[in-house]
Amino acid sequence: MTSTSLPPGPPLPPVVQALIMLRFGPRFTAACRRRYGSVFTLRVAAMGTLVYLADPADIKTVFAGDPRIYHAGEANSMLKGLLGDTSVLVVDDDLHRERRRLMLPPFARDAVVRQEELIAGIAAEHLARWPVGTTFPVAPWTARITLEVILRTVIGASDPARLAALREVMPRLLTVGPWETAAIANQALLRRRPWRRLRTAIAEADRLLYAEIADRRTDPDLSARTDALAMLVRAGGLTDTELRDQLMTLLVAGHDTTATGLAWALERLTRHPEILARAERAALSGDDEYLDAVAKETLRIRPVVFDVGRVLTEPVELAGHRLPAGVMVVPGMLLVHDDPAVYPDPDRFDPDRMVGSALSPSTYLPFGGGPRRCLGATFAMLEFRVVLREILRRAVLDSTGAPAERRRLKHVIFVPHRGARIRVLARRDTPIAAAGQAPSCPVSQHTG
């Protein structure tokens, strides 16, 4: 085969497909799968030609493929306006390999488990302020915890005034609607007047991040520090701008994602009283395996990131087609996670299915896969476990018969449409010291 071809797909104009994707993404792709089979083409305005893959064998081919042919950085290029041109998320080829190699040590298992006590302490401090006796959306509260975790463990910020300023400006960068998303995707727009608010917020965040970088460069105790920024400065090889871009990437990629995953876990648990009771027992008895199963099952049934993509730099034989260069192949995360042949009774929230199971990167992909798999996956899973454990130890949660919350697309992540409304019946008194457990690691999958 020498000529290229595209799999079938809906014959709708790209603008219409874009609007449907924004509003009904998961339902639309599921309908296309039923109609066209396990590979289909969408033409989406502002994104291009997307070839969705639902067959784990094809997904495996993509994740195992040559990263010079399967460009992830190019697929993420719409984030450049916020993350910068040198972010590990938006670069490809040798530059990506080199940057990722530099950034791996702070996110390797041994470095991550050293942060466990700090994370537990932050969660405990924040939980003491959660409202009791009223129903409230928990997503902003989990976001405050995960932002603090990132600021303290990754950036290592400790100056109170700077920490306060970062706490204030970061949510402004992340609560972007389609309007701001357009400006982040198109940097020419960002320079224009209507986007001044976003531009000012980015400039303020930059000022604070550059101040942290300058501090670290002159810190006499640099060698003793455990934050990711200190480790990157020690490794050398990155300019201030490059460091800023990586910090911004870690803040953006690592904060809202984990917060949203935790919010979904609470949304799911409070709708399943028996599973909630079991998770509480697990938290109180130190059964981390069950808490990890709750985290994994939450990310299966409610994966946070919309989808991951790879732009082809040359024609590729895949799924029975010779796909042309320039198309974006998309391993269909939701399509696989919801496939009854892979996960029997897929709509059932069932952490037990995750206990002791060996997860394959081609059938479990909340963190993507291959050489571009989420750099912070080990960190995220540890944080998920520790924060969930603290929540269940310190708060008695009410179960609810309220309907499941729908997914709403916020930028590139799916959030619960009402913010995951929960009710804390009472606080349990657990001393902060009890939070630290013997360090172990929840993720056995590869993280490289």
Q: Shortest Cβ distance from residue 242 to ligand HEM (Å)?
A: 14
Q: Shortest Cβ distance from residue 107 to ligand HEM (Å)?
A: 6
Answer yes or no: are the C-beta atoms of 57 and 362 closer than 8 Å: yes
Q: Shortest Cβ distance from residue 308 to ligand HEM (Å)?
A: 4
Residue 85's CB is within 10 A of a number of other CB atoms, namely: 13
Residue among 49, 37, 45 at smallest CA distance from 17 = 45
Name which of 91 and 323 has its Cβ closer to ligand HEM: 91
Residues 199-228, interacting with ligand HEM (CB under 6 A) = none
Using CB under 6 A, which of the segments 188-196, 277-285, 367-375, 434-442 binds ligand HEM? Answer: 367-375
Using CB under 6 A, which of the segments 27-35, 42-50, 342-350, 370-378 binds ligand HEM? Answer: 370-378
Name which of 43 and 310 has its Cβ closer to ligand HEM: 310
Answer yes or no: are the C-beta atoms of 294 and 281 closer than 8 Å: no
Asked if 154 interacts with ligand HEM (CB under 6 A), we say yes
Name which of 255 and 423 has its Cβ closer to ligand HEM: 255
| Member of 9, 56, 156, 368 binding ligand HEM (CB under 6 A) | 368
Q: CA-CA distance, 383 to 312, in Å (whole number)?
A: 34
Q: CA-CA distance, 238 to 272, in Å (whole number)?
A: 48
Residues 69-128, interacting with ligand HEM (CB under 6 A) = 72, 88-89, 100
Name which of 248 and 423 has its Cβ closer to ligand HEM: 248
Long-range contacts of 114-119 (CB under 8 A, 24+ apart): 114/226, 114/439, 115/149, 115/153, 115/226, 115/379, 115/382, 116/382, 116/386, 116/436, 116/437, 116/439, 117/435, 117/436, 118/149, 118/152, 118/153, 119/149, 119/153, 119/382, 119/383, 119/386, 119/387
Answer yes or no: are the C-beta atoms of 282 and 290 closer than 8 Å: yes
CA angle (255 as vertex; 290, 339 as ends), nearest 5: 50
Q: Shortest Cβ distance from residue 368 to ligand HEM (Å)?
A: 2
Q: Shortest Cβ distance from residue 312 to ligand HEM (Å)?
A: 14
Residues in contact with ligand HEM, counted by CB under 6 A, come to a total of 26
Binding mask 243-282 for ligand HEM (x = CB under 6 A): ------xx--xx--xx--x---------------------
Asked if 302 interacts with ligand HEM (CB under 6 A), we say no
Residue among 395, 422, 360 at smallest CA distance from 129 = 395
Answer yes or no: are the C-beta atoms of 7 and 319 closer than 8 Å: yes
Hey, what's the torsion of the CAs at 23, 26, 29, 31, to 10 degrees?
Answer: -90
Name which of 17 and 115 has its Cβ closer to ligand HEM: 115
Name which of 369 and 442 has its Cβ closer to ligand HEM: 369
Residue among 394, 167, 388, 376 at smallest CA distance from 292 = 388
Q: Shortest Cβ distance from residue 72 to ligand HEM (Å)?
A: 5
Q: Shortest Cβ distance from residue 153 to ligand HEM (Å)?
A: 8
User: SS3 of 70, please?
Assistant: strand
Q: Shortest Cβ distance from residue 266 to ligand HEM (Å)?
A: 14
Asked if 375 interacts with ligand HEM (CB under 6 A), we say yes
Name which of 366 and 423 has its Cβ closer to ligand HEM: 366
Name which of 155 and 195 has its Cβ closer to ligand HEM: 155
Handedness of CA 92, 296, 414, 104 (dihedral sign): negative
Q: CA-CA distance, 132 to 68, in Å (whole number)?
A: 52
User: SS3 of 311, please?
Assistant: strand
Give me the residues that bind ligand HEM (CB under 6 A), please.
72, 88-89, 100, 154, 249-250, 253-254, 257-258, 261, 304-305, 308, 366-369, 372-376, 379-380
